Amino acid sequence: MTDRAAFKDAVREALIDRAEALFTLAWGDPVRQSGREWRARADDAQSMQMQGADRGKWFDHKAGVGGDVFHFYGVNILGPVSYTHLTLPTSDLV
């Protein structure tokens, strides 16, 4: 395993260890703080697995999107990224 892959795995494990904190940071309090799956109180279409091999995996049933903790962090914590501020010389586009 490369150093980069090992680092990525370590970060993923650290995020999974903090699944409860990530959930509440992004979506607020869950309907119940027990059980295998948490659902957001504000929008029960948003869920995250809290136990087992799928811990940290999330899904927004209304939007039809989900993923692992990296994707959760990017979508729900960092939010949309805009690249409109970037300019490239036209010679780079061909």
* Per-residue pLDDT band at 94 (split at 50, 70, 90): very low
pLDDT of residue 30 exceeding 80, the answer is yes
Phi, psi of 92 (to 5 degrees): -80, -15
* Per-residue pLDDT band at 91 (split at 50, 70, 90): low
Domain ranges of the chain: 3-78
**pTM (predicted TM-score):** 0.79
CA distance 18 to 73: 11
Phi, psi of 38 (to 5 degrees): -100, 145
Q: What is the DSSP letter of 63?
A: T
pLDDT of residue 84 exceeding 60, the answer is no
